[in-house]
Amino acid sequence: MRVVIAEDNVLLSSGLELLLASKGFEVVAVVGDGGAFLDAVAEHRPDIAIVDVRLPPSFRDEGIHAALRARREHGALPILVLSQYVERDYAGELLSDGRGGIGYLLKDRIGRVTEFVDALRRVAAGGTAMDPEVIAQILARRADDPLGTLTSRERESLALMAQGHDNATIAERMGISDNAVHKHVGNIFAKLGLAPDDSGHRRVRAVLTYLEGTPRAR
């Protein structure tokens, strides 16, 4: 699997390059700013990109803008975004096209190598991977919101779905049967107005609704 890394911290980018190489990934380019990232994507056409939220020159949101542009120009290129802190709005912005292939992790998550590599592979396959800390902060802020129609088990299922887990993993994490998870997920789709004939990726759209806190129209 071919990877482009956009990270201005040399120690972190070098560490990522070594880690990924040890796990069978091919790092085809390591760059330090948004412009160089877009050039590298155009040249190498990677299978996935890893992008820091904050890149030179202003260190605000250049990485996010570069990631969004790369997805527009290169067929929803799978991208895993790294951030030092939780910045929820960026996660929602990345997911807004509903096409999947998006991850948003805190940099601390890299140290949990197995989890990080699993998240990278899920994103490359078109799934999502939201950092558990992002999910925890969203839950802490929302006592009364449009998602209040979900039961506690449905909210727990949706939180795990947002992290990118499939039904089997959700069942294992929650200690319930696959059938129970299937029922929870079906209820989530129904309550969020995601009909069975929805042409988009319903799991991604459910996650986006979760991040935004607003239900999709039926």
Per-residue pLDDT tens for 2-57?
999 999 999 999 999 999 999 999 999 999 999 999 999 999 999 999 999 889 88
Q: Name the band, by pLDDT with cuts 50, 70 and 90, for residue 215.
A: very low
As for how many domains the chain has, the answer is 2
Q: How far apart are CA 16 and CA 105, in angstroms?
A: 14
Specify whether 15 is located in the same domain as 107. yes
Specify whether 37 is located in the same domain as 125. yes
The DSSP H or E segment spanning 123 is helix 113-124
Res 79: pLDDT: 93
Specify whether 73 is located in the same domain as 181. no
Q: Would you say the pTM of this structure is higher than 0.95? A: no
Q: How far apart are CA 47 and CA 30, in angstroms?
A: 14
pLDDT at 136 over 80: no
Query: Which of 131, 165, 197 corresponds to the end of one domain?
Result: 131
- Asked if 158 and 130 count as a contact pair (C-beta separation under 8 A), the reply is no
Specify whether 112 is located in the same domain as 28. yes
- Spatial neighbors of 137 by CB under 8 A, at least 6 apart, are 86, 88
Residue that the structure tokens 């925890």 belong to: 136
Res 104: pLDDT: 87
Q: How far apart are CA 40 and CA 7, in angstroms?
A: 13
Q: How far apart are CA 200 and CA 97, in angstroms?
A: 9
pLDDT at 214 over 50: no
The 10s digit of each residue's pLDDT in 187-211 is 888 887 776 655 445 676 676 666 6
The DSSP H or E segment spanning 93 is helix 88-95
Residue 198 maps to which CATH number?
Answer: 1.10.10.10
Specify whether 96 is located in the same domain as 190. no
Specify whether 40 is located in the same domain as 127. yes
In a domain, 208, yes or no: yes
Indicate the pairing of strand 102-106 with strand 128-130. Answer: parallel
In a domain, 217, yes or no: no
Rg over CA atoms, the chain: 17
Query: Which of 73, 97, 131 corresponds to the end of one domain?
Result: 131
**Exposed (0-12), middle (13-18) or buried (19+): which is 91, by Cβ within 10 Å?**
buried
Query: Which of 87, 102, 131 corresponds to the end of one domain?
Result: 131
pLDDT at 73 over 80: yes
User: Which of helix, strand or coil describes residue 22?
Assistant: helix
Res 158: pLDDT: 84
Q: Could you tell me where the beta strands, DSSP code E, fall in 2-95? A: 2-6, 26-31, 48-52, 79-83
Specify whether 15 is located in the same domain as 122. yes
Starting at the edge strand that comes first in sequence, how are the strands of the sheet with 79-83 ordered?
26-31, 2-6, 48-52, 79-83, 102-106, 128-130
* Host domain of residue 33: 2-131
- Asked if 68 and 91 count as a contact pair (C-beta separation under 8 A), the reply is no
Q: Name the band, by pLDDT with cuts 50, 70 and 90, for residue 80.
A: very high
Residue 72 maps to which CATH number?
Answer: 3.40.50.2300
